């Protein structure tokens, strides 16, 4: 994702998810596995637990709710995991709606991590899923999915690129068409980027997006993330699996990326996760000293030229 994990040395990609930001991909995979085994599951990912078990860093983490003794009362494997389950469902719905209703056939996962959407979602014919991430992360994913004989349900194009490199030029070389509508997902990535890198990424997506394209991304709006250092969520993550998220997040004030897109003619809506908890009837709700308080999910669409003309 953001080049903070160790360099891979054995070709398996394991070291790509062994530390730093890379290991957070395993955290999210464990959350998806837990969600998949819930009786009231919001999203199912049969591949997630295999990623978790394949990496030494996460081999003993829970992948089934019965493996969490205190259940939903556990801030990490209860509430935080449910957050990721809800996020998965909402972004699944966004992607499928964009290709089924909006008609886009290019899907770009920026910082794809251990996302298995190319394999588990019911894509319309003709869809191509581009997965951009570091070579080490994609190698690990390929090894695990290959061992399961998993078959993608859309054309899948891995793009092994560090996001600090020129991935915008790399995409057209592997078949991406900037003149055709596309759907972009930036999930669980922008927290880790400096503000200038976030702005560059949003500007790059905007420049590669034809009319009719759509984008979803996740941001944090707190002015001072350190105010939540002692929150149950961050404390449990540090104590139970040794990940200090606040050491990984970039703590500088965040840019207004939704406003930047709006200024360039996109329509954008900004939601709290709790909006979708209420919509689906399950998921996290606000609580005191809440590390999720500043999280926002942004959904944006770029109008087609005809739509711009009608609005003039």
Would the pLDDT of 258 be above 90? yes
Q: At what angle do helices 21-36 and 81-100 cross, to 10 degrees?
A: 80
Given this model, what pLDDT does residue 19 score?
65
Given this model, what pLDDT does residue 284 score?
97
In a domain, 260, yes or no: yes
**Whole-angstrom distance between the N-terminal and C-terminal Cα of the chain?**
40
Give the mean pLDDT of the chain. 92
Number of domains the chain is built from? 1
pLDDT tens column, 216-257 = 999 999 889 999 999 999 999 999 999 999 999 999 999 999
In a domain, 13, yes or no: no
**3-state SS of the chain: helix, strand, coil percent to 5?**
45, 15, 40
Lowest mean pLDDT among 21-25, 172-176, 249-253, 254-258: 21-25
Tell which residue, 271, 272, 222, has the closest CA to residue 251: 222
Lowest mean pLDDT among 9-18, 80-89, 148-157: 9-18
How far is Cα 200 from Cα 195, in angstroms, rounded to an integer? 9
Given this model, what pLDDT does residue 223 score?
83
In a domain, 310, yes or no: no
Residue 128 DSSP symbol: E
Beta bridge partners of 106: 128, 182
- Report CA-CA distances (Å) from 111 to 71, 194, 213, 280: 30, 15, 19, 27
Biggest distance spanned by C-alpha atoms of the chain:
59
User: The tokens 């919001």 sit on which residue?
Assistant: 42
In a domain, 5, yes or no: no
178 is in which domain, residue-wise?
A: 19-300
Where residue 183 sits, what CATH number does that domain have?
A: 3.40.50.150
In a domain, 166, yes or no: yes
């Amino acid at each position: 994702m953001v080049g903070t994990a160790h360099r891979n040395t054995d070709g398996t990609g394991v070291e790509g998810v062994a530390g730093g930001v890379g290991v957070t991909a395993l955290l999210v995979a464990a959350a998806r596995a837990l969600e998949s085994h819930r009786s009231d599951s919001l999203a199912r990912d049969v591949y997630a637990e295999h990623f978790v078990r394949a990496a030494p860093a996460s081999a003993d983490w829970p992948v089934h709710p019965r493996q969490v003794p205190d259940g939903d009362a556990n801030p990490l494997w209860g509430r935080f995991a449910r957050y990721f389950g809800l996020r998965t469902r909402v972004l699944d719905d966004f992607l499928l709606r964009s290709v089924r209703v909006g008609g886009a056939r290019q899907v770009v996962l920026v910082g794809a991590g251990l996302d298995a959407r190319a394999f588990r979602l019911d894509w319309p014919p003709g869809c191509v899923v581009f997965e951009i991430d570091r070579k080490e992360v994609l190698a690990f994913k390929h090894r695990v999915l290959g061992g399961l004989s998993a078959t993608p349900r859309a054309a899948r194009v891995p793009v092994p690129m560090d996001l600090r490199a020129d991935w915008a030029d790399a995409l057209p070389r592997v078949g991406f068409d900037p003149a055709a509508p596309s759907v972009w997902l930036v999930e669980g990535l922008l927290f880790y980027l400096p503000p200038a890198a976030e702005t560059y990424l949003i500007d790059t997506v905007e420049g590669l997006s034809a009319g009719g394209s759509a984008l979803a991304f996740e941001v944090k709006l707190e002015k001072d993330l350190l105010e939540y250092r002692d929150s149950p969520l961050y404390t449990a993550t540090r104590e139970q699996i040794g990940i200090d998220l606040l050491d990984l997040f970039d703590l500088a004030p965040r840019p207004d990326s939704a406003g930047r897109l709006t200024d360039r003619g996109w329509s954008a809506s900004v939601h709290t996760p709790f909006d979708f908890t209420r919509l689906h009837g399950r998921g996290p709700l606000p609580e005191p000293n809440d590390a999720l308080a500043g999280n926002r999910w942004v959904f944006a669409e770029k109008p087609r030229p005809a739509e711009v003309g009608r609005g003039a």
